Amino acid sequence: MAEYKQVKIGKLKLKGFSNKKKKNSKRKCQDGSESSVSSEIVPNDDAHLHGGWWPITSFDKLTGGNVAIQCYTSANLFAVDNGTLRLGSLHGGSDDGPVQEEIFTMIRLSDNKVGFKSGYGKYISVNARGDVLARSDAVGPQEQLEVVIENGKVALQGHNGYFLTFTDDGEVKSLSRVAKEKEIIFLRTNASRNKKKKLAEDDIGDVRKCEVSYVKQFQSFGDHKVKLHQGPKSSLEKARNVGKLHEAMLDRREKMKSDRYCK
- On whether the CB atoms of residues 184 and 164 are closer than 8 A, the answer is no
CA–CA distance, 83 with 66 (Å, rounded to integer): 19
Tell me the domains of the chain and their CATH numbers.
46-189 (2.80.10.50), 201-255 (no CATH)
Confidence of residue 214 (pLDDT cuts 50, 70, 90): low
Q: Is the pLDDT of residue 233 over 90?
A: no
Other residues' Cβ atoms within 10 Å of the Cβ of residue 4: 18
- On whether the CB atoms of residues 159 and 142 are closer than 8 A, the answer is yes
Q: Is the pTM of this model over 0.75?
A: no
CA–CA distance, 223 with 81 (Å, rounded to integer): 41
What would the mean pLDDT of 69-85 be, rounded to a whole number? 94
pLDDT tens digit sequence for 170-212: 899 999 999 999 999 999 999 887 755 444 555 556 767 777 7
Confidence of residue 89 (pLDDT cuts 50, 70, 90): confident
Long-range contacts of residues 194-201, Cβ cutoff 8 Å, at least 24 apart: 194/40, 197/60, 197/63
CA–CA distance, 97 with 103 (Å, rounded to integer): 10
Other residues' Cβ atoms within 10 Å of the Cβ of residue 167: 12
pLDDT tens digit sequence for 95-132: 678 999 999 999 999 989 999 999 999 999 999 999 99
Q: Side-chain half-sphere of 14: how many Cα atoms within 13 Å?
A: 17
Q: Which of 14-28, 131-145, 156-170, 187-201 has the lowest mean pLDDT?
A: 14-28
